């Protein structure tokens, strides 16, 4: 058990430190200790919820896997979210050096939000449009791949597990955010 905990904590701390570094680089306007606590709570909650949703689905289908293994898979998949941050650093560092803080904060890497004209979009559709991006697709693919390797399943079955569990939970989350945006805007 001790052999598992040490690499897990090392992985968690390295993931959090990388995410904090890139978030602080992009969040020039407001960088406080409270923001770092909120970011870390957000990341840890997201990792836990992804692992929990997968665990519930897997247990209901009588597949055996440890929750700790799912946590490790979810933590590894969180590294996908470093790619849009790196993309933004390169984009604003090389191609758009005259960008304002507001342009940087409202930039959503490789998402549908940046492709369509937002002046014609409803307010409640902004979140789903920012959410639909290539990095989220990459997250699904990496999660499915790692799950297939751990469970020794083919990728298609693993992708079905991810879409049936995490995909449904994610869709529910987006609908709830849209509902609150619609009601409070």
Instruction: Grade residue 74 by pLDDT with cuts at 50, 70 and 90.
Output: very high
Residue 135 CA to chain centroid, in angstroms?
8
Q: What is the mean pLDDT of residues 55-82?
A: 91
Domains of the chain: which residue ranges? 2-183
Query: Which pLDDT value is given to residue 56?
Result: 94
Query: Which pLDDT value is given to residue 14?
Result: 59
Q: What is the mean pLDDT of residues 37-51?
A: 86
* 67-78 helix and 134-151 helix, angle to the nearest 10 degrees: 150
> Which DSSP string corresponds to 92-106?
IIII-TT--HHHHHT
* Model pLDDT for residues 18-37, shown as the tens digit of each residue: 556 555 555 544 556 677 77
Average pLDDT value over all residues in the chain: 81
Spatial CA neighbour of 112 closest among 142, 133, 138, 127: 133
* Model pLDDT for residues 80-127, shown as the tens digit of each residue: 988 888 888 888 888 877 878 777 777 777 888 777 766 677 777 778
């Amino acid at each position: 058990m001790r052999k598992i905990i040490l690499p897990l904590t090392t992985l968690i701390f390295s993931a959090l430190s990388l995410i904090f570094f890139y978030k602080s680089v992009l969040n020039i306007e407001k960088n406080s200790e409270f923001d770092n606590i909120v970011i870390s709570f957000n990341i840890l909650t997201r990792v836990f919820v992804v692992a929990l949703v997968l665990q519930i689905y897997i247990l209901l289908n009588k597949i055996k896997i440890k929750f700790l293994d799912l946590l490790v898979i979810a933590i590894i998949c969180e590294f996908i979210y470093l790619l849009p941050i790196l993309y933004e650093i390169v984009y604003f560092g090389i191609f758009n050096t005259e960008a304002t803080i507001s342009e940087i904060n409202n930039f959503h890497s490789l998402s549908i939000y940046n492709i369509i004209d937002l002046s014609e979009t409803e307010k409640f559709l902004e979140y789903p449009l920012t959410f639909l991006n290539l990095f989220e697709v990459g997250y699904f693919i990496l999660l499915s791949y790692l799950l297939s390797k751990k469970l020794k399943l083919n990728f298609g079955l693993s992708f079905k597990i991810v879409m049936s569990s995490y995909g449904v939970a994610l869709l529910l989350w987006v609908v709830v955010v849209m509902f609150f945006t619609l009601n409070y805007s």
